[in-house]
């Protein structure tokens, strides 16, 4: 059974940085694309960044140049380095595999104050 556990969220002022981590427990990590999503109450979950097993990356336009996704296959962990944070980045952040989704983890709250 695969489990995804996100961590690293918190409260930060605009312009600050956070580094999110997602640990994948179960034998799925090395060959899967890994994605970071975020969700604001009342809105659909949004794909923020993705990284393939070979290291290719994709970002939604609103975070390009500010966020960096990376992965450590040896530790079954994917990271999201978030710099120059804006209040509109406030959301619960989740990771998952792509394109087939697994059960969602609990997410990690990111709050950016003005």
Q: What is the pLDDT along the chain (114 residues), one digit of tens a residue?
A: 788 999 999 999 999 999 999 998 877 666 789 999 999 999 999 999 999 988 999 999 999 999 999 999 888 899 999 999 999 999 999 999 988 888 999 999 999 999
Please report the pLDDT score of residue 100 as a whole number.
Answer: 85
Classify each residue of 17-49 as buried b or exposed e, where b means 16 or more C-beta atoms within 10 Å of its C-beta. ebebbbbbeeeebeebbbbbbbeeeeeeeeebb
């Amino acid at each position: 059974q695969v489990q995804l556990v996100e961590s690293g969220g918190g409260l930060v002022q605009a312009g600050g940085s956070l580094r999110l981590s997602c640990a994948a427990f179960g034998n799925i990590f090395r060959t899967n694309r890994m994605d970071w999503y975020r969700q604001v109450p009342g809105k659909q979950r949004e794909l923020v960044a993705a990284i393939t097993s070979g290291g290719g990356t994709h970002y939604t336009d609103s975070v390009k140049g500010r966020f960096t996704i990376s992965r450590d296959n040896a530790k079954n962990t994917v990271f999201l380095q978030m710099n120059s944070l804006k209040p509109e980045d406030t959301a619960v952040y989740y990771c998952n595999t792509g394109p087939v989704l697994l059960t969602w983890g609990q997410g990690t709250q990111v709050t950016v104050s003005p």
